[in-house]
Amino acid sequence: MTTRLALPALALGPAATAAPAQDLGTTLPDAVGQVAPKLEAYAQNDLFGSVWTDEQLSMRDRALVTVAAKIKRHETDGLSEHIALALDAGVTPAEISETITHLAFYTGWGNAVAAAEAAAPVYDERGVTVDDLPALAPELLPLDQEAEEARQETVQSTYDDVSQGVVDNTEQLLSSTSGCARRWNRATAVP
């Protein structure tokens, strides 16, 4: 028999007060209680009852960090449930989308694609559309030309004699005028 721990919306903080009571137990497969009851007890009492409710980190932030950790480890079993938990805790669909996209470059493309596949049914169920997600061509902040020139000089002087590939890739992929770094200069990224 699986015991579920339901946390009231108030435990999630002010950003999630409209959310229903969150059942952390939905992230734990029933098989755990059937095969390893002691593991289930640890999960319910220690993980869900203590770690997740500790006030040093909000439920919202814990949920987003857990989604990111599961993406990094390519743990797609239960990822949909953790994405739903994160949404219930106040993480926005746009933030999950950005997390998946950001982690593609750090954890692997396949991990990000698998995470998108896990998120899709949750988004469908909740009526999340492309219009709710970050724009493909966002408004960019103005370029700091002095900082850009300093970056180019640093890369050139540090790597030119050692690896022209690093210089070329930095210019093509990471420069402020093209590639991935433009994502960091979005006006919507400003708090």
- The domain that holds 94 is classified in CATH as 1.20.1290.10
Residue pLDDT tens, the chain, 191 long = 333 334 433 333 333 333 334 577 778 888 888 888 888 888 888 788 888 888 899 999 999 999 999 999 999 999 999 999 999 999 999 999 999 999 999 999 999 999 999 999 999 999 999 999 988 877 777 878 888 888 888 888 888 888 888 888 777 765 545 555 555 555 555 44
pTM across the whole model: 0.62
E strand or H helix at 142, and its extent?
Answer: none
Q: Are 21 and 101 in a shared domain?
A: yes
Closest alpha carbon to 151 in 171, 165, 169: 171
| Number of domains within the chain | 2
Domain of residue 156 covers 145-189
**Residue with the two structure tokens 């919507």:** 188
